[in-house]
Amino acid sequence: MYPEITAISPDHEIVSSRIFHVPAKFLFRAWAEPQHLKEWWGPEGFTNTFHNFDFRVGGNWKFTMHAPVKGNFENECEFTHIEEPSLIAWKRYSKPLFKVVATFEETEKDKTLLTFRQIFDTVEECNKIKPFAVEKNEENFDRLEVELTKMK
């Protein structure tokens, strides 16, 4: 693991995790392949338009998240670390600013623990997002579960 993306105080991060009943390599694909990622990324009811998805270290990911009721949210990120099939990390250039580290740990045959960490520079920024992020991350994981069944 990379210390520069994992050595952080717990009050600066939001951590969500879930065990998925697929191999790590399969789960990694749902994150690495834009045709799958765009289908599940975001809370319930959101859709995405991907403008750029250059999945490599230093590559850019630009997309618009469309809220179900009102609003479009522009996002821009840069991939900072990729280790297939165990880690994807990126830095956001759009607000709110934070880093993401997603790890994929195969715990047994066809079971993978996904740990999704949002790492903020300040406690204040983290505390702004924390009240709703955990619930929305769970909605995101629910959507990921659905997409995994479509990929099989």
- In the three-class reduction of DSSP (H, G, I as helix; E, B as strand; rest coil), residue 28 is classed as helix
Place of tokens 């997409």: 147
Q: Is residue 2 part of a domain?
A: no
pLDDT of residue 8: 64
Domain with 34, as residue range(s), is 13-151
**6 found inside a domain:** no
pLDDT of residue 6 exceeding 80: no
141 occurs within a structural domain: yes
Quick check: 137 pLDDT over 60? Answer: yes
Structural contact between residues 49 and 148, judged by C-beta atoms closer than 8 angstroms: no
pLDDT over 90 at 70, yes or no: no
pLDDT of residue 131: 93
User: For all residues of the chain together, what is the average pLDDT?
Assistant: 93
* 56 domain residue, yes or no: yes
- Residue 82 contacts by C-beta under 8 Å, 6 or more apart in sequence? 32, 55, 56, 57, 88, 89
CATH of the domain at 104: 3.30.530.20
pLDDT of residue 1: 47
Structure confidence at residue 10 (pLDDT)? 81
Q: How many CB atoms lie within 10 A of CB 14?
A: 18
Position 73 in a domain: yes
Q: Which residues contact 150 (CB under 8 A, 6 or more apart)?
A: 39
pTM for this entry: 0.92
Name the 3-class secondary structure at 46. Answer: coil
Structural domains of the chain, count: 1
